[in-house]
């Protein structure tokens, strides 16, 4: 028989993402709806080790639906990677009567939760929270849509000055290992080209795209560069272009952590709310050791081991469409 759940702990771990607060709110209010106590664990796994745990209720999460970041804070914990650290964490949650966990984060968060659940037989479920959208088992992760909207808005503003001065702009976006943000925002903002981590793109290909834009009398050219691309740093790429085309004035903009901030979009609020309620209901039903996502608008449960091992694949069809429309 499934273990009866009376008290649920919720935490956020790893990089923050817009929509995490909406997920926390959903877990707390759904838990209370079903007569369960819900505890917020502050500072991620490190907070579990240091006993930074506080009971939450519906009023505790009032007014956070539209807030970016995470009210529970987030951190990375080296100590939790050790058995001794996980034992401290276990002792603390047991002392509070917590008998299940909901984790909001990415692969590292899920990995920690998988080990913890296996060692101490604690039901654990994970919600995919990362702006990178690189987790398998879900079409979109919490925070991805907001990040794409932030980038699109920034590029729209950059285009104003690019148009005014006939300039070439290189805009670096987050994406150390994946180009989801760069590709989606690049298509949405009408970028001339996107440099992605997923492909070995020769510099000559970029030159061809730039020349094609020039031949079509484009008065501004914007190139989105994912930070983890294989072509080189944004400075190296810009310098190579400058050497090849000294007549073009070019500028570099690095958006950085702007992409993690801001009020979550409607899409991210809805995704987070659905997943938070689903996590509580799944724990009550006896599910554990899984990440919960949404695929084709339906809930999907993926075992942690599979979710950690697999990586979401970028849709390169969007890149083909981008190049057609950039002419």
Own/partner contacts of 278-281, CB < 8 Å, gap of 24 or more, are: 279/27, 279/30, 279/102, 279/125, 279/127, 280/8, 280/26, 280/27, 280/30, 280/31, 280/34, 280/36, 280/102, 281/30, 281/34
Q: Quickly list DSSP for 173-205.
A: E--SS--HHHHHHHHHHT-SEEE-TTS---HHH
- Which of 16, 91, 121, 132 is catalytic? The answer is 132
3-class secondary-structure state, position 295? strand
Annotated catalytic, 132? yes
Cβ atoms of residues 66 and 270 within 8 Å: no
3-class secondary-structure state, position 172? strand
CA angle, 10 then 13 then 16, to 5°: 110
Q: How far is CA 114 from CA 43, 84, 108, 291, in A?
A: 19, 16, 10, 10
**Which residues are marked as active site?**
132
């Amino acid at each position: 028989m499934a273990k009866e759940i009376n008290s649920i702990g919720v935490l956020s771990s790893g990089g923050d993402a817009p929509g995490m607060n909406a997920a926390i709110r959903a877990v707390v209010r759904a838990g209370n709806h079903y007569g369960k106590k819900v505890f917020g664990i502050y500072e991620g796994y490190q907070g579990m080790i240091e006993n930074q745990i506080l009971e939450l209720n519906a009023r505790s999460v009032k007014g956070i639906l539209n807030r970016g970041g995470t009210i529970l804070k987030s951190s990375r914990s080296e100590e939790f990677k050790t058995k001794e650290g996980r034992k401290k964490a276990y002792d603390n949650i047991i002392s509070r009567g917590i008998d299940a966990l909901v984790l909001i984060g990415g692969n590292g968060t899920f990995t920690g939760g998988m080990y913890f659940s296996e060692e101490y037989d604690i039901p654990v479920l994970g919600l995919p929270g990362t702006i990178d959208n690189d987790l398998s088992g879900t079409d979109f992760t919490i925070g991805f849509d907001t990040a794409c909207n932030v980038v699109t808005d920034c590029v729209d503003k950059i285009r104003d000055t690019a148009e005014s001065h006939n300039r070439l702009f290189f805009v670096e976006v987050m994406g150390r290992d994946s180009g989801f943000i760069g590709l989606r925002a690049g298509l949405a903002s009408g970028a001339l080209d996107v440099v992605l981590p997923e492909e070995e793109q020769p510099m000559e290909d970029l030159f061809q795209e730039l020349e094609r834009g020039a031949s079509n009398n484009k008065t501004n050219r914007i190139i989105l560069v994912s930070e983890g691309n294989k072509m080189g740093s944004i400075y190296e790429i810009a310098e190579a272009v400058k050497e090849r085309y000294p007549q073009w004035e070019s500028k570099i903009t690095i958006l950085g952590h702007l992409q993690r901030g801001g009020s979550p979009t409607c899409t991210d609020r809805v995704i987070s709310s659905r997943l938070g309620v689903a996590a509580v209901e799944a724990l009550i039903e006896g599910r554990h050791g899984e990440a919960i996502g949404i695929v084709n608008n339906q809930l999907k449960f993926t075992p942690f081991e599979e979710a950690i091992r697999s990586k979401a694949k970028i849709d390169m069809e969007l890149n083909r469409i981008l190049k057609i429309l950039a002419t």
